[in-house]
Amino acid sequence: MTGDISQSSSSPDSVNRKLSRRPYLKALGTSILAGGLAGCSGGGGDGDGGGSGDGDSSGGDGDSGGNDGGTTGSSGGGELDEVSMEIASTFAENHVLVAGAATRFKEIVEEESDGNFTVSISPGGAYGAEDEISELVAEGGVEAHSQGTFPFLQYAPKYFFFANPFVMGGFDHILRLHDSDLMSDGYDQIIENGNQRPVGNMVYRGARHLCTKEGTGAVASAADVEGLSLRVSEIPPWVQIFSEIGFDTSAIAWTEVYSAMQTGTVDSIEAPPGALNSARLFEVFDILNITSHQITTGNIYLNEEFYQGLDETYQDIVQKAGDEATDHASEMAQEQEQGHIDTFESEHGITINQDADRQSFADAAEPAIQNLFDSEWAHTWEDIRNV
């Protein structure tokens, strides 16, 4: 059995479709809550799951932390009370999870509620890195965050498999997985363990590629990277997978990646084009090898107690806004992705290597991925491939 599932971007139909888990999550959240719930410059990343992940975040000012409790129901006269919430993000204002998802969510919620439900956005890591913001949302210190897949790693680690190199077969495959029963327990665990719920569809944020220097040259196959130093995010399964392929891996915080490449601490990095562009990493690598080894995703997550305290009308508005905003962000990211690659080549002199043999990398990664499914992750790899 080979480890390859060819990567592909999503069709417009799959980007726009609404995932059927929404009513399920709404009902589930109510039952869980009834049973009781527990409880700056650039610190974060492009949402690869790590608290210091591959980020294009820059410092930013945030509004004051969490909502003061406010009123979230309807008044005796039947009119909806005024409600406010804040969305925090590690990412900069121009990042697709902020400019696309969070901003569009704000617009829809405020429009649908006639201004009675207001949303503020605090981007740029004002509340810290992804793990810190996720914990803050779990504690109710802020009502929501627009982030990567860190809540799955933090609160449902057995279901984090979809956010690892060479596991999934593209964005359509990821959407099918998240719309299937195979992820139901994972969403349960995020609500139970993390006191938060995803309220949108998974956001497409770009395919990750391998970046090398001129001295290394273009990479044709896995045989070319034996012993090559690679910066990886501080996520144990990623370290295992890239080490299995043959890289000499170094877990380095995203804020240190530029200097690590500049000084030769590492000779290669991997990230999606948007993150490479925001961090100006095109200044320290020479070749973009199109390996498409992983699709980077994200979502909007709401504190569960805040959500359950909303009037049903507001809950419906939140669900509608979540679906539409995340689909909007996916479309935005797909439109921007090729533009970044074209700019790397035309304006920054980056060589675009389209000849990297992805299959050879997938085959080399297979033993590590299979071991992770056998020992740490939910389901079997075969079940996931067949979704």
Output the DSSP codes for 343-365: HHHHHH--EEE----HHHHHHHH
What's the rounded Cα separation, in Å, for the pair 217 and 138? 45
Q: Coil, strand, or helix at residue 1?
A: coil
CA distance readout (Å), 53 to 235, 305, 382: 9, 28, 29
Query: pTM for the complete prediction?
Result: 0.81
| Separation of CA 32 from chain center | 25
Q: Which 8-state DSSP code applies to residue 187?
A: H
Tell me if residue 85 falls in helix, strand or coil: strand
C-alpha pair distances (Å), 64 with each of 134, 160, 327, 344 = 17, 31, 29, 38
DSSP state of 11: P
Determine how many CB atoms are found less than 10 A away from the CB of residue 165: 22
Q: Write out the DSSP string of 118-136.
A: EEEEE-TTTT-SHHHHHHH
First to last CA, the chain: 17
Alpha-carbon distances, residue 60 vs 92, 95, 123, 358 (angstroms): 7, 13, 6, 38
Name 74's bridge partners. Answer: 80
Do the Cβ atoms of 174 and 168 come closer than 8 Å?
Answer: yes
Q: What is the pLDDT of residue 26?
A: 34
**Distance between CA atoms of 117 and 317, rounded to whole angstroms?**
10
The per-residue pLDDT for 59 is: 35
Look at residue 61 in the predicted model and tell me its pLDDT. 36
Beta bridge partners of 145: 88, 301
pLDDT tens, N- to C-terminus, the chain (387 residues): 434 334 444 433 333 333 333 333 333 333 333 333 333 333 445 545 444 445 443 333 334 334 444 445 554 446 789 999 999 998 889 889 999 999 999 999 999 999 999 999 999 899 998 889 999 999 999 999 999 999 999 999 999 999 999 999 999 999 999 999 999 999 999 999 999 999 999 999 999 999 999 999 999 999 999 999 999 988 899 999 999 999 999 998 877 899 999 999 999 999 999 889 888 999 999 999 999 999 999 999 999 999 999 999 999 999 999 999 999 999 999 999 999 999 999 999 999 999 999 999 999 999 999 999 999 999 999 999 999
3-state helix, strand, coil in the chain (%, to 5): 45, 15, 35
For helices 21-35 and 312-348, give the axis angle rounded to 10 degrees.
120
The dihedrals phi and psi of 288, each to the nearest 5 degrees, come to -100, 110
Distance CA 340, CA 209 (A): 13
